Structure 1
Amino acid sequence: MNSIKDKLAGMRWLLVKPGKFFDDVARNGSYWDGLVFVAFLALLVGFGAVLGDPTLSPDMVLADGAKVALVLFVGMLVITAVWGLFSALIGMKMRPRIAVALTFKEALQRCLRIVCFALAPIALLFFHGQLLVGLALVGVLVLSVIGVSKALSIKIIPALIVQALVCGSIVGGAALAVDSFFKDPEFQARRSRSYPAKKLIGKPAPDILISPTGGTPIHLSELKGKVVIIDFWATWCPPCRFGLPMVSEVASKYKDKGVVFYAIGDGSINQEKLYLEQRKIDAIASSSNAEGFEAFMVQAIPETIVIDKEGIVKAVHIGLSQNEKEELTSEIEASLAGK
């Protein structure tokens, strides 16, 4: 398959006769073809994630879709690299003695090419639905079993065992990493210190200009006497979409006690306001100039700041923690009590 037309024609075998397709890919496939295919999947799923969002303008759909697709592309490349490596390592141990000689390098190259195309069912995620997520995962497993069987010249059952071990290793390793991330105090402390914004804790908050939607711009110093929550976020950021409602839920409990919550985005403020309203997120949609993001040393989002009544930075949250709501509640109550 040399020309683009021939390559597209050859893709039909992936669904019609996956065994034939993977046999050809394993022996004659190109890394570039695999990379292009993964990039196509990332674009498809990335734009699928934002196309159904009525709060986004066409310009924001294009920008947010591209950002989500880039994150997905990098993530999928990492997954394929680890998946291909483990498949080759375990699969080589299960090859029959009578099989044609195959070096580990050749096995690894074949498995990497196979895994790229085995991700094809992820395209179902362009459409939203839990059932489709399940079907996509099952489809990936089925194709990877067929692909590894062809790549390493092993039977289906051993190939299924290989993929079960590989998936278990990857998922188990990820689970241990997440558990360590959330529970290891030393690891968390090192991570916290690594972000420049953490240096702001215990110091007067930078006097940035906050511009609420439809309101009068206000300097942060004018809000002394109130506990201020600031969340730097973006509509394209999955952790922001997940975390913003949690911050809002906590902050709204103390709204009558002088707690104000500003959600400062990096895009169109009117679109962000519509996003918050449609999801019933109780936050003041606001914007700030580049100096505002720089003053709070925003390097990763979401970044959530808790500022006490005296204008002192009480806490800085980067990303999401396992006990996000509990930590925010404790910090807000301490700030209200003047502790």
Structure 2
Amino acid sequence: MLDTFSPYTMSDFNSTDFTNPSTFILLGIPGLEEDIYLWISIPFCLMYVISIVGNSVILFIIKTDPSLHEPMYIFLSMLAVTDLSLSLSTMPTILGIYLFKSREISLDACFAQVFFIHSLSLTESSMLLLMAFDRFVAICNPLRYASILTPTRIAKLGLVFVLRGVVLVFPVPFLLKRFQYCRANVLSHSYCLHQEVMKLACSDINVNSIYGLSVKLLTVGLDSLLIFLSYVMIIKTVLSVASPKESLRAMNTCVSHLCAILLFFTPEIGLSVIHRFGNSSSHLLQILLGYVYLLVPPLMNPIVYSVKSKHLRTRIIRDVDGVCH
């Protein structure tokens, strides 16, 4: 399939003439004629518009409605800011390819995008963990909910987890910058990922590989484990102290968060496994999973929370009615 892509062919990938290239080439979806790129850009544009508008609306509603200044909605606003930032960090290169057929990206711009994508991904994982903690306290210790999750403590937790992502990813661009790149300078995704960029280096990448795996295990791996344990405790508490009807009502407050968890962690873990161990996997599968990983959570999270949260849904409907009348 790759050798049918124009203007880059398989021989371009195998070339070793790119000694210290000044740019990388972002491939996009291989095997497609450039004539249909404009058509492909339409769904991408719609996804970005919905993501940006949806997350902005959630932020506006939470900020302007005092009744929503509760821990659950404050954590949701943090998630919305992360999703909004993640959309903006990938939009220039993805739309640049499909709208303007601009595939080149400078090394420095690529390394900067690596930093923003990976630090924001770690932050999103952290926000989902904090939201799991919020549900855990609300269901397992409701009498102390307000005293445990005070505004000051929420702000400190949010700041700590944002700094965690920034600090852990901060060395990555510098680790990539020290490499000599003498292999083909073509990246298969429409944006720069650390695990793919480092494979283009002709230097020893063991340090990057070990560091990247360690960071992933200590953040996404640990967060997913703690989220799992939180829900084990939630289910245990609900089943032991509540009637079936109350149990259903309590678990219903977790549905939107569970959807957000699946939307984020499933492609995140899948893409990491494929990049590290799936050398024989379909190239197209890697690319499609990469799009799902970065585009679907920011798109779907506002929709899921708007549908499942009665307060948000009521406020959105009220605002829409006000605009229409």
Q: How does the TM-score come out when normalised to structure 1?
A: 0.25
Q: How does the TM-score come out when normalised to structure 2?
A: 0.26
Instruction: Tell me which of the two structures has the higher relative contact order, counting C-alpha pairs closer than 8 angstroms and 6 or more residues apart.
Output: 2
Higher helix share: 2
